[in-house]
Structure formats: C-alpha cells, structure tokens
Amino acid sequence: MASRSNSISASLLTWLAIALIVIVLDQFTKTLILGYFQLGDARPVTGFFSVVRVHNSGAAFSFLAGASGWQRWFFVALGSVAAVFIVWMLRRHGHQRLFAWALSLILGGAVGNVIDRLLHGYVVDFLDFHLAARHFPAFNVADAAISVGAALLILDELRRVRRG
C-alpha cells in the first residue's frame, strides 16, 4: 500500500510541477507586459499578430466584463474550486498521461488567471491575433494553456471512445 501511495505522490508532483511551470511563465509574461506597456498600447509584430495590453475583468471573450465588480470574486471562487477539483482528479488519474497533461495545463492556466484577479481585479491579456481589421479577443499564456488543455481533454475522450 505504501508503494502505491508513493507512486501517486510522485505522479501528482510531476503534474503539479507542469502546472507550476505554466503559472510561472504566465505571471512572468504578464509582469513584462505590465512593466513595458501602458493600458491600450499595441506593438505590431507581424501583419497578423500584435502584442497589446488589455485588462479583462470578465471571463473568456470578456463574458461579464461589464458587471459591477462581483464577477471578480465569482471568477476567483470558480477558479479556486476548479483547481481543487483538478488536483483531486490528478491524484486519482495521474497515471493517464494525456488526461493528466490536459488537467495540468488547465490547472496552471486557471491559477494564473486567479492570481491576476486577486492582485489586480482583472486578467492581463496581451496576445492579439488579427486578420485585417478583425481581431480575435486578446489572450495570455494562461488562456492558451487552458485552451490546449481543453483540446487535449477532447482528444483523450475521442481516443477513449474509439478504444471502447
């Protein structure tokens, strides 16, 4: 029983380390943006990509950004509950590599954005992809990790269904 417990702990630590790397990379890039850009600044990098500084008090695609402020604490609570649930899932399913990778990326992204909401009251977004005058909503490293993690979850489920 002890070796199984040690195996779970080692596996969990690996997945938490991946989430921590996402958090550190996310917070580092946001700190650079906050230090070198003013709100609303945009610097073109290519014809389809710019680095910008945007503050998002809402969720994905600025959902609830116009609310009166309660959404900050709602999204902090939601991200915190999600993080606890993900850690529990990683502890139980850490041996499922693709699934655990997905959860680790989502965990790191969720915690990265919760940190922003606690520190600033908003999430710092800075990656701006566009085609002509049409802009995809700006996002950050945490959002990218969550998106990749969600895609991996879908892939994992498709693989599981095919095997089933």
The CA distance from 73 to 85, in Å, is: 18
- 92-145 per-position pLDDT tens digit: 999 999 999 999 999 999 999 999 999 999 999 999 999 988 888 899 999 999
Tokens describing residue 36 = 């070198």
> In this structure, are residues 108 and 22 in contact, taking their beta carbons and an 8 Å threshold?
yes
Note the Cα 105 to chain centre separation in Å: 7
Model-level pTM greater than 0.85? yes
Catalytically active residues are 125, 143
